[in-house]
Chain A
Amino acid sequence: MLDRSITTPVQDALHPGGVQAAHILQLWNGTLALCLMVFILVVGACLLALWRAPKGGAQAAPDLAGLEPATGARDARLMRVVIWCSVLAAAGLLVLLLGTIQAARALAQLPALDALQIELTGHDWWWEAHYRDPLTGQQFATANELHLPVGRAAIVTMRTTDVIHSLWIPNLHGKLDLIPGRITEIRLRADRAGLFRGQCAEFCGLQHTMMALDVVAEPPASYAAWATRQQAGALAAVGNLAQRGRAVFQERQCAACHAIAGTKATATIGPDLTHLARRRMIAAGMLPNTRGFLAGWIVDAPSIKPGVGMPAIHMPPDDLQALLAYLETLK
């Protein structure tokens, strides 16, 4: 299906691929160091107390010196230690607060001149994306896979058509929710090339688990090539089988939900398929985009991903082969 090498994507917050995630990791490292120190001190003090305190038993008479002011000198000393430790603790908290403010400001100050504009719409359970590049004027639609040029900011405005979702690409940034009735905005920038994976991070129903997306960060030239390809409509179907497949696409009502730019199929109920063949995964990051998986998906999507909007579409094997041949041309 694809003729580029498939690499395993990364999805973690500890290996930033972009400046936003890097700011957060820096705060994380500082906070971790501080908290680790506090943990060792507190647990250490506790263990020391246990080790050095004289052991008694039920027979040890209770020590009530602390209850009276006259005999309360030792308790007063202990309280002074408590107060000093509390002041130290408060100072530590202040440091954390300042670190937070500094990181938050850094996150908000991502330079976004000439940023790429991406409109992301969350659906149960897939991602719809519309690109708009103010620099080149390019506009196109895609689904479940984003490409980003390294070193250039992207402003992602987000909506949802059903429930709350959350976009989380940990290698690039923290998450932000997609909220019904609102438009939210997150600013990203990839600073090295790589294949990153994002996942919906707000429980959104039955297949919340299976709502992922690929994010391909690539050098500007490579991105430009991809964008130009995306902007162009579908390649003409070449070969009898592929042309027969295009007819099947019409007959089987695929066009009722899916759009293929440059054809009469313009529906946006399901993911845009114009350049399906170039995508690494299908079903929102659930299955590799290979002939076998694609066939299984077409024929009976609900048995693979129960609750999915796409119905089972049984068809004679010949039709299926033709359809697959056609879809393979959608590069």
Chain B
Amino acid sequence: MNAVDTDLELDATWRDPPGWRGFFAAVNHKTISLRFMVTTFGFFIAGGLLALAMRVQLAQPGSTLIGAHAYNQLFTMHGTTMMFLFAVPVMQAIAIYLVPLMIGARSVAFPRMNAFAFWIFLFGGVMLYVAYFFDAASDAGWFAYVPLSSFQYSPGKGVDFWAQMITFTEVSGLMEAIVLITTILKMRAPGMTLNRMPLFVWGVLVTSVMVLFALPAVVLASTALITDRLVDTRFYSPAHGGDVLLWQHLFWFFGHPEVYLIFIPPLGFISTIVATFARRPIVGYRTMVLCLIATGFLAFGLWVHHMFATDLPALGKIFFTAASLLIAVPTAVQIFCWIATLWSGRLWFRTPLLFVLGFFAILVLGGLTGLMLASVPLDLQVHDTYFVVAHLHYVLLGGAVFPLFGAFYYWFPKFTGRMLGETLGRWQFGLFFISFNVAFFPMHVLGLYGMPRRVYTYPQDAGWSNMNLMASIGALGIAISVLLFIINVWRSWRGGALAGNDPWRGGTLEWSMASPPPAANFPVVPVVHSLFPLWQPGGKPSHVTGLSTRYREVLITSVANAELDHRLWLPASSPWPFLAAVATTILFIGSIFSPWAVVWAALPVAVACTAWFWPEKDMTQQRSDSEQAP
């Protein structure tokens, strides 16, 4: 067969089937990832609009535009949306697209589980908003402290929907983590030893391992909350031997690592973008990897700093001050390495780099206020005030959203084959940077001046009016900048400049194939000889032969040194992930209304999962005929 026919057959093998059946049965990682990215971006817009509503209400003292109940729902939904439905999932979504491309693989491991993870995430997020639409939203804050979130003080179904949404999204997150870890460890192209693995992939690996340890805490916490509310368990009820702070310990044991789940993948974006636009590898690769690992590890030792205003023993609290200060070290080291890279590179200023530079100003400021919050005495003044709101937005937008926009400008050409507008990108960046600071810097002052969080209004004579108005104006500016982004995407999608394979002259494997990539990613699977294969081409052997083009065959390599191990046929398209997700959704939603749903709704789930697993006769025959035992 000649090369063109091979390519055609390869494409036909890996492509998603057409039509409606194909839509629900698609498992190609790029398809799933794009859906995931669009969905999380939709939630980002929703969360942003909620915030805009809040800022309109707070622009003036004593405003009666939005009442207490509606406002409490707004900030609950805003926080919940941003933290659970946007910030963590978007990072996983991007990883699902890029990791196989960066490691020379044709797919992720467990492609059907990857598809299931998307559907279950979508259904959980939609459920939450449908509940909101029917005024059944939680108004107990995104962190839902007990006893406020218990049935006695939050009657109705709002908190139940919120708690179950967590189950949906955390199941999704856990599955994606398993997919990513297995992909990274077992599916790297031959020759990509661990120290030839791009820093972004390291970031994804560290994040995914953290996910496995962190998410179970919130799943346990929210499950105990649901059972307290639904069947009268007493976990959080002091009158019956339970404890109110148990919720806070479990929630923050998850909640603190969660912000690092949001922060570490962008560290990978930054390493990638700085390297490309400084035209050199990041200074200190090994050090950078160790810093990522150290950050991931330390992140689990900080959670009590969210509880400094409780009656925990003073000595214990100081320990968590020390740990919270310590985690600044690996982040600082990475920042110094990036500055060293910029210092010694040849700089090429394009929008992705601008957003990364935005990170340097904003995240550093946010990190410094974080050090202030780490100190118990200081925290006792500024905890639960607008100072914290300022801090968290500086680190989340500076540390994640700015790099995220940079990443979109950087990889959009790869996803779509078209460049985003550079001029519009610069306008977006400038407006976003300025508006962000106008919106959030005054909040530091507001907190020190006595304004608590989660308030729907404030007194005229408090002296907070001007700063609140300024913050609201800044929020409007942010909204406009996001609108510019949407316009940019729309225009590029319609007719932006063609990107070609490698518009940024990058060094890593994702730039080696067409944009957008063909269904199988690599027409030929490469053999890797360098940390930057495109900057240091050459090396023999250069590519792999012998993988089937008729079946979704992938190469499995060894964990440390990516030496050849065996081949696997991955499952092709299947509607079962979608159907199983539907069944699981019925189970989860049903169990909000009745504990017996756990029993009867488990049956369709069992059926769907069994059908998902059950092998197909013809395919099995083909494999069996061609198999080679180890």
Contact = CB atoms under 8 A, between A and B. Distances in A.
Interface of A: 8, 10-14, 21, 23-24, 27-28, 31-32, 35, 38-39, 42-43, 45-46, 48-50, 52-58, 60-64, 66-67, 74-75, 78-79, 81-82, 85-86, 89-90, 93, 96-97, 99-101, 103-104, 107-108, 124, 162-164, 166, 168, 170, 173-177, 179-182, 184-185, 197, 199-209, 306-307
Given A62-B532, A202-B145, 19 more contacts: A14-B448, A43-B361, A55-B347, A60-B346, A62-B279, A62-B505, A79-B283, A81-B340, A93-B326, A100-B377, A163-B147, A164-B244, A179-B311, A184-B310, A185-B311, A202-B309, A203-B141, A209-B456, A209-B458
Interface in B127-166: 139-141, 145, 147-148, 153
A208 B454 contact: yes
Interface residues of B, number: 91
Contacts of A60: 279, 346, 348
B381 A24 contact: yes
B540 interface: no
Contacts of B357: 46, 50
B378 A75 contact: no
Contacts of A50: 342, 347, 357
B252 to A, nearest CB: 14
Nearest to B332: A89
A49 B346 contact: no
Given A104-B376, A181-B243, A174 B381 contact: yes
Contacts of B281: 62, 64, 66-67
Contacts of A179: 244-245, 310-311
A49 B349 CA distance: 13
B328 A75 contact: no
B614 interface: no
Nearest to A63: B280
Contacts of B365: 39
Given A28-B381, A60-B279, A174-B381, A38 B368 contact: yes
Nearest to A179: B244
B613 interface: no
Contacts of B610: none
A164 B532 CA distance: 54
B278 A53 contact: yes
Nearest to A51: B347
A199 B448 CA distance: 14
B454 A203 contact: yes
Contacts of B375: 27, 31, 96, 99-100, 103
Contacts of B346: 53-56, 60, 63
Nearest to A8: B461
B380 interface: yes
Contacts of B457: 209
Interface string B269-301: 000000000111101100100000000000000
A306 B449 contact: no
Given A75-B283, A175-B309, A53 B345 contact: yes
A204 B284 CA distance: 48
Contacts of A97: 321-322, 325
Interface string B363-395: 011001101101111111111110000000000
Interface stretch (B17-25, B65-73, B222-230): B65-73
Interface of B: 67-69, 72, 139-141, 145, 147-148, 153, 238-239, 243-245, 278-281, 283-284, 287, 309-311, 314, 318, 321-322, 325-326, 328-329, 332-333, 335-337, 339-340, 342-349, 357, 360-361, 364-365, 368-369, 371-372, 374-385, 448-450, 452-458, 461-462, 503-505, 507, 530-532, 535-536
A63 B345 contact: yes
B7 to A, nearest CB: 28
Contacts of A197: 450
Given A11-B462, A14-B449, A49-B339, A101 B318 contact: yes
Contact of A93 (B244, B325, B536): B325
Contact of B332 (A28, A53, A86, A103): A86
A79 B345 contact: no
B347 A28 contact: no
B506 to A, nearest CB: 9
Nearest to B453: A203
Given A86-B332, A100-B376, A209-B68, A13 B448 contact: yes
Contact of A82 (B145, B284, B453): B284
Given A93-B325, A99-B375, A203-B141, A74 B344 contact: yes
A53 to B, nearest CB: 5
B400 to A, nearest CB: 19
Contacts of B503: 58
A202 B384 contact: yes
Contacts of A103: 375, 377-378
A89 to B, nearest CB: 5
25 contacts: A11-B450, A27-B377, A31-B372, A35-B372, A39-B365, A46-B357, A46-B361, A49-B339, A53-B278, A55-B349, A60-B279, A61-B279, A62-B279, A100-B318, A100-B376, A174-B381, A176-B380, A177-B310, A177-B311, A184-B310, A200-B452, A201-B452, A202-B309, A203-B145, A306-B67
Nearest to B384: A201
B247 to A, nearest CB: 10
B280 A58 contact: no
B380 A24 contact: yes
A239 to B, nearest CB: 34
A57 B452 CA distance: 48
Nearest to B69: A206
B336 A175 contact: no
A13 B376 CA distance: 15
B325 A96 contact: yes
Contacts of A124: 153
A93 B324 CA distance: 10
Given A82-B333, A107-B377, A204-B148, A93 B328 contact: yes
Nearest to B147: A163
A179 B141 CA distance: 17
A28 B378 contact: yes
Contacts of B449: 11-14
Contact of A307 (B68, B141, B345): B68
Contacts of B344: 53, 63, 74-75, 78
Given A67-B531, A166-B384, A90 B329 contact: yes
Contacts of B530: 67
B566 to A, nearest CB: 31
Contact of A201 (B325, B360, B385, B507): B385
A264 to B, nearest CB: 31
Contacts of B325: 93, 96-97
Contacts of A176: 309, 311, 380
Contacts of B310: 177, 179, 184
Contact of B287 (A79, A203, A204): A79
A139 to B, nearest CB: 25
Contacts of B376: 100, 104
A181 B314 CA distance: 19
A79 B339 CA distance: 11
